Every structure is written in structure tokens, then in C-alpha cells.
């Protein structure tokens, strides 16, 4: 089980076609008293912004085709960032969609202070024996799929 402090702010993602549906997770987290934030792309080469989302809140669709909270929703700094991926490896690295948004964002949040948990969420079939890893790639603290959760302790 992934340790969450009471009343954590958890950034999840609104699933697109083929992605792991994390909406049941979002509902469970909200019922447990956690705040939910969804990522918003502000621009190329910028970290993501996270805006509060609650059931029934109006959403907009970004230029990338992603459902996002409205710009009027309050910005939140997450304690936990749940990320989608195209692939992952058994070292805790994920392959995203090529924009580097999550890597930039995780690096900025980690530099802002300790305690951030990065959780990759997807399917076991997305595991690959090797991925291209660069200096800008940020590792996950946890990877979760339908088979369970795997923690990665970093030295």
C-alpha cells in the first residue's frame, strides 16, 4: 500500500483512450478526505500546473485533447503525483508521451522540498525490459498496475 498522509493533495489524471482508468481511484481518494488536482498544460517547456477538481466541476478540453479543470479552479501543489505512461521498466522509469511535462514538473516539485511521491499508473503489459533513459528523466517512487504496487527506494 502506498503511504498517504491524511488530507493529502493528490494529482491524478483524467484518462484518455487506452489509459488506465484512474477515476475509481480518484473517487476513493476523495471519499478518504484527500483533495484531487488534475494537471493543466500551461505551455511548451513549462512544468504542469495542478488545479483542484471535485465531482461535478466543469472541465475544458485542452489543445492536446485532455480534459482539464477550468482556469478559475484553484491551483494546488500536490503531495502525490499520479502519472500515466506508455511504458515502464523495473527500475521505476516511465516513458511518457514525449513532451517532458511530467519530468519537468516532478523535478521542480522535488527541488521545492522533500516528500513528493511520484506514482506511475498503468497496465502490466506496458512493462519493457529496457527504456531510453536520459538525464532529464525523473524516476517514479512507485509503479502501480493491475497486479499490484512496486516501490523503488532511492539512495
Residue with cell 509503479: 143
Confidence at residue 16, expressed as pLDDT on a 0 to 100 scale? 85
Residues 6 or more apart whose CB falls under 8 angstroms from that of 37 comprise: 9, 10, 11, 12, 50, 51, 52, 53, 76, 78
The domains of the chain are located at 9-151
Confidence at residue 68, expressed as pLDDT on a 0 to 100 scale? 94
Of 119, 127, 116, residue with least CA distance to 143: 119
For the domain made up of 9-151, give the CATH fold: Rossmann fold (3.40.50)
Burial class (CB in 10 A: 0-12, 13-18, 19+), 127: middle
Instruction: List the chain pLDDT tens, one digit each, 155 residues.
Output: 788 999 999 999 998 888 899 999 999 999 999 999 999 998 888 999 999 999 999 999 988 788 999 999 999 999 999 999 999 999 999 999 888 999 999 999 999 988 899 999 999 999 999 999 999 999 999 999 999 999 987 65
Q: Which three cell numbers stand for residue 126?
A: 506496458
Confidence at residue 148, expressed as pLDDT on a 0 to 100 scale? 93
Confidence at residue 153, expressed as pLDDT on a 0 to 100 scale? 72
Amino acid at each position: 500500500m502506498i503511504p498517504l498522509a491524511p488530507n493529502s493533495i493528490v494529482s491524478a489524471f483524467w484518462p484518455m483512450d487506452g489509459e488506465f482508468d484512474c477515476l475509481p481511484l480518484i473517487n476513493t481518494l476523495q471519499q478518504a478526505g484527500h483533495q484531487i488536482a488534475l494537471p493543466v498544460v500551461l505551455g511548451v517547456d513549462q512544468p504542469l500546473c495542478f488545479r483542484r477538481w471535485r465531482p461535478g466541476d466543469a472541465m475544458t478540453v485542452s489543445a492536446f485533447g485532455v480534459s482539464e479543470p477550468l482556469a478559475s479552479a484553484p491551483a494546488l501543489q500536490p503531495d502525490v503525483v499520479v502519472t500515466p505512461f506508455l511504458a515502464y521498466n523495473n527500475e521505476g522509469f516511465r516513458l511518457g508521451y514525449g513532451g517532458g511535462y511530467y519530468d519537468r514538473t516532478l523535478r521542480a516539485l522535488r527541488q521545492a522540498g522533500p516528500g513528493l511521491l511520484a506514482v506511475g499508473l498503468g497496465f502490466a503489459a506496458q512493462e519493457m525490459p529496457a527504456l531510453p533513459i536520459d538525464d532529464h528523466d525523473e524516476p517514479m517512487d512507485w509503479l502501480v498496475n493491475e497486479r499490484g504496487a512496486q516501490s523503488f527506494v532511492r539512495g
